[in-house]
Amino acid sequence: MSVNIKTAASPESFIIGSIRKSKPIVRTVSGSNFWHLMKQHNEDEEVKLASDFFLPRLLNTKGTLQEYIDEFYSQILHVPNDPPIIIKFLFDMLDSAANRCNITDPDVIHTWKCNSLMLRFWVNIIKNPEFVFDIHKPGSPSNKLLFAKEIPRYRKMVKEYFAEMKSRPAVSDQDLNSYLTQKISQKYSGKIYQSTALIEMFKFAKRYRQKCIFMAMDQFQK
């Protein structure tokens, strides 16, 4: 099978040339090969040329997908009639901790909640789509540039989400224990193996054994 490659100094030839220099990544599923072609980003000029060439198309694509992006944020920042027990309990715990420590700055509590849910879960998935989808993340993302106008609106949605969660009835320890026992433990019964967990704990302890020893000695001396 022959492939004709353009040699003219045009955007099309640049794209094809980038593909020719890319490293093929192959994985096999049920006897079929799926190939990915990933551009090299070793030279600054090549990266700049790629960014300048693809930015207009990226903006057009973003405009096409904006409706679905807004719907995504509306869904993850929507508080249902029965809020998730785990999230509600966590947020109430953070509010209680702030009261005990006499923290009245709302930005501090807001940051706690963002770090515990938005940053650790949703932002992690959004910034690393390869965790969920079979794709490669771009080498130089333009998230802040693309969504500069939408960021203030999304921040407002996050604040409203936290306020709505706070207004809902508190979750008791009994409700939390019942949820963990009936909904979580039973759902994954027989799928979690104690021996496997112990092996992973041993690997962790072996990796940080020196730090664990020093910490234990320090606590013993105290």
Q: pLDDT digit string (tens) for 88-132? A: 999 999 999 999 999 989 999 999 999 999 888 888 888 888 888
Reported as a pLDDT band with limits 50, 70 and 90, residue 58 is: confident
Query: pLDDT digits over 165-179, tens only?
Result: 999 999 888 888 888
Q: What is the pLDDT averaged over residues 139-151? A: 75
Residue 22 has pLDDT above 50, yes or no: no
Domain boundaries, given as residue ranges, for the chain: 66-191
**In Å, what is the CA distance from 146 to each residue of 92, 123, 141?**
34, 16, 9
Secondary structure of the chain in HEC code, one letter for each residue: CCCCCCCCCCHHHHHHHHHHHCEEEEEEECCEEEEEEECCCCCHHHHHHHHHHHHHHHHHHHHHHHHHHHHHHHHHCCCCCCCCHHHHHHHHHHHHHHHHCCCCCHHHHHHHHHHHHHHHHHHHHHHCHHHCCCCCCCCCCCHHHHCCCCHHHHHHHHHHHHHHHHHCCCCCHHHHHHHHHHHHHCCCCCCCCHHHHHHHHHHHHHHCHHHHHHHHHHHHHC
Distance, in Å, from the CA atom of 199 to the CA atom of 205, rounded to the nearest integer, reads 10
Q: What predicted TM-score, i.e. pTM, was given to this entire model?
A: 0.57
* pLDDT band at residue 134 using 50, 70 and 90 as cut-offs: confident
* pLDDT value at residue 112: 94
Q: Tell me the per-residue pLDDT of 78-94, one tens digit each, with 9 for 90 and over.
A: 998 888 899 999 999 99
Q: What is the average per-residue pLDDT within 143-167? A: 88
Mean of the pLDDT values across residues 24-35? 52
Task: Give me the count of residues in the chain.
Answer: 222
Predicted confidence (pLDDT) at residue 204 exceeds the cutoff of 60 = yes
CB 166 within 8 A of CB 173: no
pLDDT interval class at 9 (50, 70, 90): very low
Tokens 């969920």 label which residue?
132
